[in-house]
Amino acid sequence: MRLREPGVFTVDVAAGELSGAATRYRKTFGDLAGLYADEAAFRRLLDERGADAVAYEVTDHKPSSDAGDMIIGVTRMAPGKVGAEYFMTRGHIHAKADRPEMYYGESGHGLMLLESPDGEVRTVELRPRTLCYVPPYWIHRSVNVGTDDLVMTFAYPADSGQDYDIIAKAGGMRRRIVDDGTGGWTAVDNADWRPRSAALVEALYGEAA
Ligand SMILES: O=P(O)(O)OC[C@H]1O[C@](O)(CO)[C@@H](O)[C@@H]1O
Ligand SMILES: [Fe+2]
């Protein structure tokens, strides 16, 4: 049996990264077209900051994509809004939908927005030292509702994969997280959202249904 070597990494909270991790990717505002309700405000943001400005960045350690292995990393997301809507990640369901995830708040004030295949919605507030459990089958997206960078450590099974289409095909997630008018947040209905068909929901649940 050839074993992998243990790894040790440092969560650099100030930099918002996992120091020593081998892989890094950035999502720029230019990558996030179509995500936000207010398209005019989104175009203004691109004009002001440039399409190449970083919206969020992930550093992670991906030892393999084997079932039973684990991916660990750190996400850093900038604060801000597009119109009234707080900055967010694209969001996804795991390609193997029964795979869970955990997020641990390191700094900033965020939300995990979760949606089940048949359209139930949950929000979990993330602050430093909050550990959020994302159960199998839930679509998840993080939202920065604070005024500083949101930094989170995460871990998920290495064979999970990500399916981004499930959100796009439904016209977005069912709720949008917006400023409540006093600098806090509230969840409002997304008028473009369409329920998934029973057949699609069943296919997602697979043998577990
Ligand atoms: O993959 P998305 O939806 O763009 O969001 C990024 C976040 O999700 C992850 O892909 C982990 O599932 C992390 O890299 C990060 O926290
Ligand atoms: Fe995930």
Residues flanking ion ligand 2, Cβ below 5 Å: 101
CA dist., res. 69 & res. 159, Å (int) = 7
Domain-located, residue 109: yes
What is the average per-residue pLDDT within 58-73?
A: 97
Domain-located, residue 47: yes
Domain-located, residue 24: yes
Which residue is associated with the tokens 């919605």?
121
Number of domains in the chain: 1
Q: Which residues line ligand 1 (CB under 6 A)?
A: 27, 58, 73, 75, 89-92, 101, 154, 156, 162
What is the average per-residue pLDDT within 149-162?
A: 98
Q: Which of the ligands is closest to the CA of residue 59? A: 1
Q: ipTM score here?
A: 0.93
- List the beta strands (DSSP E) in the chain: 10-12, 17-19, 23-28, 54-61, 70-77, 81-82, 85-86, 101-107, 110-115, 121-126, 131-134, 139-144, 150-157, 175-179, 185-189
Atom in ligand 1 nearest the alpha carbon of residue 154? 16
Domain-located, residue 175: yes
Is residue 208 very low, low, confident or very high in pLDDT (cuts 50, 70, 90)? confident
